[in-house]
Amino acid sequence: MAGALRLILGDQLSLSISSLKDADKTSDTILMAELIEEATYVPHHKKKIAFLFSAMRHFAEELRSQGWRIRYVKLDDPHNSGSFTGEIARAVAEITPDRLIVTEPGEYRVLALMRDWQELFGMPVEIRDDSRFLCSIERFSRWADGKKALRMEYFYREMRREHGVLMRGNEPEGGQWNFDAENRESLPDHIALPQHPEFPLDRITTEVLGLVEGRFAHHPGALLPFTMPVTRSQALEMLDRFITERLPLFGKYQDAMKQGEPKLFHSMVSAVLNCGLLEPMEIIRQAEHAYHSGHAPLNAVEGFIRQILGWREYVRGLYWLKMPEYALSNALDAQRPLPDFYWTGKTDMNCLAQVFGETLENAHAHHIQRLMVTGNFALLAGISPPQIEAWYLAVYADAYEWVELPNTHGMVCYADGGYLASKPYAASGSYIDRMSDYCGACAYDVKKKTGPKACPFNYLYWNFLIENEGVLRKNQRMSVIYGNLDRMDKTRRDEIITDASAFLENLEPWKPNEPPSAISADRKSARA
Ligand code: FAD
Ligand code: DLZ
Ligand code: SF4
């Protein structure tokens, strides 16, 4: 009888992962597996699969070099059963471990599987807390207990106090918790933009790219060029370059968008952070140090830390507090199928075409692109939440359900009726025009409110408010907007409704039975 079998999932690539605590190198076996079920439960972007498989293989090599006994199952292993349960069953039959140890997963779907394993395999199964997060699931539920609606800002303040981040005694550094008033500017025309690091291919990544091209050719997105960091040392270099070169202007331009420039002053750490190559507190402490050493101003550092200590922990806490029911709500009864241009990228709305194109190229888009362009469109067009959620989960390299779902279901779709965010993030074309240079190159006119040349975001915005009046008018935070709607004359209102329904009726729905294979092949022509 061997020792413990310790399972490490593809997004648990940390030496400090709780499933490895108290492990015995002489008797225990670590199981890692590349699984068709995980790669296809949504059609993940090719770059996302390649990134994760390469990071998994590098991590396994590191563990092996430290003397661990590793059972690493490659995708093309002829005996690979394709699923977590199948691979544990094979390992149990061959190794006969005395127990199974895992760290809690990032998706409810996988937790449901894990809960069956003890009975299925007839041996003790220990599911440990994921200590990489700064707020445990239990701590979050204590904070949320008795609250009718949750607000990130109050949670964030408690996290700042609890972890002593940007604090001066009991008071926030600089006398305020939030410096957003100094942030969120649009980008000046001639500002010099930073270079982002690109990492060379090595033997492992080259092999993985061949595998992905062969097995996932029909999945969305471009596989090449592939320049993502896939090891901890590359992830640390990525972080270091951000802190040194981009953090000082992060806050000021965090909401800005520019044609052909998807990364701007963002950190680009989400994919390496979410798969375990970086830990949140090491990022936070480096950013804090940049402030204390005078390298970066407080508005930038506080704005950045709020994303990680605030939003990231908040959405994760909310996910585990409310799942599985959370995913089923649909407060605005949004039922429209996902338009096919989310997968093909082909639309003459330039802002959408830009974000789709960059997403398909990089498996990444920054927050405002996700929220106020593709998300805003989905909200205003009343796209069915599960369909838009599957899209976000598939196309972004940093996407796992614990983080994708609250952002899409709650923040974008308002499907939870305001539990996560106090009002819908709905905006007309003028917001996109203010924060980007997309409108200048668009077939539509952002200044026109109705008619064939009018920016669709303009009439869709008012149409959304009209259609959802029953739910949204009672929201205090919407009273000014509904006041404006009340002052609108009937002719204009009728034009809005007519233009919006003509536009929405013309949307070509994506046919879920057709794999999104056309995407990468057509991507270039879609953007041309
Ligand atoms: P930066 O702008 O540099 O921010 C730093 C870090 O803060 C990010 O790396 C991330 O870890 C964290 N962060 C920032 N905003 C959020 C947020 N709203 N929720 C959680 N963490 C946040 N982020 C993911 O990591 N995975 C997802 O699947 C994901 N899906 C999203 C879906 C929608 C509809 C929206 C609106 C946002 C989503 N986000 C998601 C949040 C955000 O868009 C990304 O974290 C960010 O764009 C990643 O790029 P970056 O690392 O350069 O971030
Ligand atoms: C996303 C993903 C993919 C594409 N492939 C694998 C895999 O082959 N093996 C694995 O262990 N994990 C993979 N993952 C990440 C899992 O889907 C993730 O661990 C669960 O969604 C739980 O967060
Ligand atoms: Fe987008 Fe409207 Fe601007 Fe075109 S005019 S880029 S559709 S906001």
Residue 275 has pLDDT above 70, yes or no: yes
pLDDT-derived band of residue 513, with 50, 70 and 90 as boundaries? Answer: low
Query: How close is the Cα of 367 to the center of ligand 1, in Å?
Result: 6
- The torsion angles phi and psi of 225, rounded to 5 degrees, stand at -70, 145
Residue 524 has pLDDT above 60, yes or no: no
Residue 528 has pLDDT above 90, yes or no: no
Query: How close is the Cα of 44 to the center of ligand 2, in Å?
Result: 10
Contacts 24+ apart (CB under 8 A), 439-442: 439/350, 439/351, 441/259, 441/350, 442/348, 442/349, 442/350, 442/351
Residue 463 has pLDDT above 90, yes or no: yes
Residue 207 has pLDDT above 50, yes or no: yes
Which atom of ligand 3 sits closest to the CA of residue 458?
Answer: 2
What pLDDT sits at residue 518?
38
- Residue 133 near ligand 3, beta carbon < 6 Å: no
CA distance 295 to 423: 36
Calculate mean pLDDT across residues 415-435.
95
Which atom of ligand 1 sits closest to the CA of residue 370?
Answer: 36
- Residue 460 near ligand 3, beta carbon < 6 Å: no
Over residues 441-459, the pLDDT tens digits come to: 999 999 999 999 999 999 9
Which atom of ligand 2 sits closest to the CA of residue 49?
Answer: 4
Calculate mean pLDDT across residues 167-172.
96
Greater model confidence, 256 or 516? 256
CA distance 33 to 56: 9
pLDDT-derived band of residue 516, with 50, 70 and 90 as boundaries? Answer: low
pLDDT-derived band of residue 525, with 50, 70 and 90 as boundaries? Answer: very low
Task: Please give the share of the chain, as a percent, with pLDDT higher than 70.
Answer: 97
Which atom of ligand 1 sits closest to the CA of residue 374?
Answer: 34
Query: How close is the Cα of 442 to the center of ligand 3, in Å?
Result: 6
Q: Which two tokens stand for residue 236?
A: 């640390």
Calculate mean pLDDT across residues 408-431.
96
Q: Which of 341, 346, 349 to mutate to test the pocket of ligand 3 (most atoms within 8 A of CB)?
A: 349
pLDDT-derived band of residue 184, with 50, 70 and 90 as boundaries? Answer: confident
- Residue 413 near ligand 1, beta carbon < 6 Å: no
Q: Which of 8, 11, 72, 323 to mutate to test the pocket of ligand 2 (most atoms within 8 A of CB)?
A: 11
What pLDDT sits at residue 512?
61
The ligand 2 site (C-beta within 6 Å) comprises 9-11, 33-35, 38-39, 44, 49, 52, 105-107, 110, 400
pLDDT-derived band of residue 149, with 50, 70 and 90 as boundaries? Answer: confident
Report which protein residue has its CA nearest ligand 3's atom 8. 429
What pLDDT sits at residue 523?
30
- Residue 304 near ligand 3, beta carbon < 6 Å: no
Query: How close is the Cα of 118 to the center of ligand 2, in Å?
Result: 21
CA distance 81 to 299: 50
Report which protein residue has its CA nearest ligand 3's atom 2. 455
- Residue 436 near ligand 3, beta carbon < 6 Å: no
What pLDDT sits at residue 514?
59
What pLDDT sits at residue 510?
86
Ligand nearest to the CA of 45: 2
CA distance 460 to 426: 10
What pLDDT sits at residue 521?
33
Report which protein residue has its CA nearest ligand 3's atom 1. 351
Greater model confidence, 515 or 347? 347
Task: Please give the share of the chain, as a percent, with pLDDT higher than 90.
Answer: 94
Ligand nearest to the CA of 378: 1
Which atom of ligand 3 sits closest to the CA of residue 350?
Answer: 6
251's CB contacts (< 8 A; 6+ apart) are 179, 182, 183, 297, 299, 300, 301, 302, 303, 304
Query: How close is the Cα of 38 to the center of ligand 2, in Å?
Result: 5
Residue 199 buriedness (CB in 10 A; 0-12 / 13-18 / 19+): middle
Which atom of ligand 2 sits closest to the CA of residue 34?
Answer: 8
* DSSP per-residue letters across 307-347: IIIIIIHHHHHHHHHHTTGGGG--TT---BPPBTHHHH---
Q: If you average pLDDT over every residue of the chain, what do you get?
A: 95
Over residues 356-368, the pLDDT tens digits come to: 999 999 999 999 9
- Tell me how crowded residue 149 is: count the other CB atoms within 10 A of its CB: 12
Over residues 326-355, the pLDDT tens digits come to: 999 999 999 999 999 999 999 999 999 999
Report which protein residue has its CA nearest ligand 3's atom 5. 446
Report which protein residue has its CA nearest ligand 1's atom 10. 270
- What pTM, to 2 d.p., does this model score? 0.96
Residue 527 has pLDDT above 80, yes or no: no
Residue 46 has pLDDT above 90, yes or no: yes
Q: How many residues does the chain have?
A: 528
Query: How close is the Cα of 330 to the center of ligand 1, in Å?
Result: 23
Query: How close is the Cα of 253 to the center of ligand 3, in Å?
Result: 20
Q: Which two tokens stand for residue 413?
A: 């779709």
pLDDT-derived band of residue 44, with 50, 70 and 90 as boundaries? Answer: very high
- Residue 374 near ligand 1, beta carbon < 6 Å: no
Please tell me whether residue 304 adopts helix, strand or coil conformation: helix
Query: How close is the Cα of 364 to the center of ligand 2, in Å?
Result: 18
Over residues 52-95, the pLDDT tens digits come to: 999 999 999 999 999 999 999 999 999 999 999 999 999 999 99
CA distance 428 to 507: 19
pLDDT-derived band of residue 148, with 50, 70 and 90 as boundaries? Answer: confident
Q: Which two tokens stand for residue 459?
A: 């009439």
Query: How close is the Cα of 449 to the center of ligand 3, in Å?
Result: 12
